[in-house]
Amino acid sequence: MASHRKSRPTGTRVAGIRTPALATAALTSVALLSQSANAAPEADDKPSLEEVEKKVDDLYRQAGSATEKYNAAKEKTAKQRKRADALIDDVAKRTQKLNEAREELGSFASAQYRTGAAAPDTATFLLADTPQDYFDQTQLMDRMTGRQKVAVDDYIAQQSETMKKRQEATESLEALTESQGDLKTAKATVQRKLADARELMSKLTAEEKARLAAIEKEKREEAARKADELARQQAAQQQAQEEAAQQQDGGSSPSGSAGSGSSSSTVPADSSYATKADKALAFARAQIGKPYVWGAVGPGSYDCSGLTQAAWKAAGVTLPRTTYDQVNAGTTVPISQAQPGDLVFFYDDVTHVGIYIGNGMMIHAPKPGTYVREESIFYDGESAIHSVVRPA
């Protein structure tokens, strides 16, 4: 017999009670909202100050790298422009010579048209008043034919060379356009990285900026400790070398070395280097307080490689424009043997440089928003140092 009972709606049992489907949906929504509320703080969590500092430093480093690429592109653009201008001038001169050769050919053609293009023959002999007249006419035609042949050969050669130079000028102009494109891209990259860094810093509260300043101070103190340690090592090394030299020379004093806390038995810096280094350092010290400006080479502002280039130029030594080239413009020495005037390069991509002044310190143009200053070569940690180069 069929049952007349209505079927009960299915639901979920909670604490022994069977709940209707609608209530189940409501509980599910509450659970999801609870999960979202719990997840929201994680999504809104701000990065730590250490993470912000690292991000800002990374952005400034990327801007520094882009600055060196900008410098390289700018230098390449200047060279390409100079080459293109020279080629265009050369093409203009060759075109003038080509026109002159064409006019000369035209004059020969006109002369042949007036006198007759055919070579002297019996008819010419019969028309001549005397055998001497025939001889003179024959010589004239022979000379004209010879000169015309030379003129034609010269015209063909001029035309070929002019076409070659025009092709070179076209290629140089294309390379110039490409260099200008690289320059524009590098400039935009620098500006974007700097804007990102400024925006990130602007979001920090006063308290966070104070804590960040404390972190920076701690880093500077650690860098100073490492610089003092290097200075002690260099002083001990120099003293040991002087004592060894005295023993070898029977107690006579060795010749003075260049600069404080610096000497090297492996890569010595002679008196001429010391003299040049003194001039370079004097120039660099005079720039302290001037602002860092990317791409600047002075006299009012500098970027890192612009400062080192200008300093050594004051000492009579020409350095390349970019860090990528400056790192190869001299002799590499160990950090323990660094002497005043040496160039200290940073990071694996060699995107920063300073000029060593001794005792673990250097003068450099750090980054946008800062000024030329003295600072420990360990300002960004010992691992950041790439190499030390003696440029002269």
pLDDT in tens, 52-96: 777 878 888 888 888 888 888 788 888 878 877 887 887 777 777
Q: What's at 352, amino acid-wise?
A: H
Specify the pTM: 0.60
Stretch (H or E) spanning 363: strand 361-364
The conformation of residue 297, written as its DSSP 8-state character, comes to B
Annotated catalytic residue 364: yes
pLDDT of residue 370: 92
Per residue in 353-371, pLDDT (tens digit) is 999 999 999 999 998 889 9
- CA separation for the pair 348, 371 (Å, rounded): 24
Least confident segment among 7-11, 191-195, 382-386: 7-11
Which of these is catalytic: 76, 352, 386, 390? 352
Per residue in 228-252, pLDDT (tens digit) is 888 888 888 888 878 888 887 765 5
- CA separation for the pair 162, 177 (Å, rounded): 22
- CA separation for the pair 183, 72 (Å, rounded): 8
- CA separation for the pair 153, 8 (Å, rounded): 112
Nearest partner of 348 among 301, 296, 387, 391, judged by Cα:
387
Which of these is catalytic: 63, 91, 304, 350? 304
Annotated catalytic residue 304: yes
Q: What is the CA radius of gyration of the chain?
A: 40
User: Which tokens in the block code for residue 67?
Assistant: 């600055």
Nearest partner of 64 among 180, 154, 194, 157, judged by Cα:
194
Which of these is catalytic: 94, 321, 364, 390? 364
Residue listed under structure tokens 């612009």: 306
Q: Which residue has the higher pLDDT, 33 or 127?
A: 127
